[in-house]
Structure 1
């Protein structure tokens, strides 16, 4: 988009878009190359389950990363949270060439550790920081 919010190229694959649903081979709610976003707006979060869903949908869509964007009830969308599975968090960090501390600090991640099963662990940032991360990933992977 340009500074006035007009699309520079409406056919660009880099535009954030909502794909048509694919039924049993769902491809996620929103595509923001290279991420598939699984959007949630519920009162009782089940983040590890959502992350598994987002990661499966990213595979279905042919995208490298699946994350969850969770709108908080009675809050502006900008206050939403973006959840990464630990494996996805690590893969994105390595693409950016950042240490765990640098990645954590730059994007203000918090971590949830649920028991000994690392499949239930996840990292969370806010929508604003995710937008910065998205731009950074696109820049270093030559998506732009």
Structure 2
């Protein structure tokens, strides 16, 4: 039997995966993939040991999912970026569970570098991008390596759909609360 922390972490990873698949329209009402072979299905990969590839793959993101009492976001982000490189994905983010809150309220953290790369891929100005996806910023001292941008999982799902739509025209965000005008 696994330890309690491992069970909690696995449960959070599964909740993130299932939430994203549901809101992105990858699953039916019974929780089954519409197309099990669709490369856009959000999945939990097998662990790779020393060359870990992250907790959840949501193309083009590797997600490091954390269910902890005291988050250390900069270290989670470093881990996510290393694991994204191992998996061959362009972006790594950390999703931290918010106690006693719905999975949609999970906090999604980006390094400033990743936030900028995603913003440039989508095209809006910094202000428009931050406003559209509900980002806030944590600027910790003069060390920019400790700075990060944060949104919630609901807004991240919209961002993910919009980013995927660049590669597949016609799949723009249709999630409730997503404003189509940038």
State the TM-score, normalizing by the size of structure 2.
0.75
Instruction: Name the counterpart of 1:8.
Output: 34
Instruction: Name the counterpart of 2:164.
Output: 138
1:80 aligns with 2:106: yes
Superposed, which structure 2 residues align to 1:60-139 within 5 Å?
60-139=86-165
State the 1:9 CA deviation: 1.4
> C-alpha deviations, 1:47-86, integer Å up to 9, x for none?
0000000000000000000000000122222211100000
1:52 aligns with 2:78: yes
> Where in structure 1 do 4 or more consecutive aligned residues deviate above 4 Å?
none
Moved more, 71-80 or 44-53: 71-80
Instruction: Name the counterpart of 1:22.
Output: 48
Higher relative contact order (CA 8 A, sep 6+): 1
Distance 1:6 1:35 in 2: 22
Question: Which structure has the highest strand share of the two?
Answer: 1
Moved more, 76-85 or 56-65: 76-85
State the 1:8 CA deviation: 2.5
Moved more, 121-130 or 8-17: 8-17
CA-atom RMSD in angstroms? 1.5
Q: Name structure 1 gaps, 5 residues minimum.
A: none
User: Which structure has the greater CA radius of gyration?
Assistant: 2
Distance 1:8 1:135 in 2: 17
Distance 2:100 2:123 in 1: 37
Distance 1:56 1:2 in 2: 29
State the TM-score, normalizing by the size of structure 1.
0.94
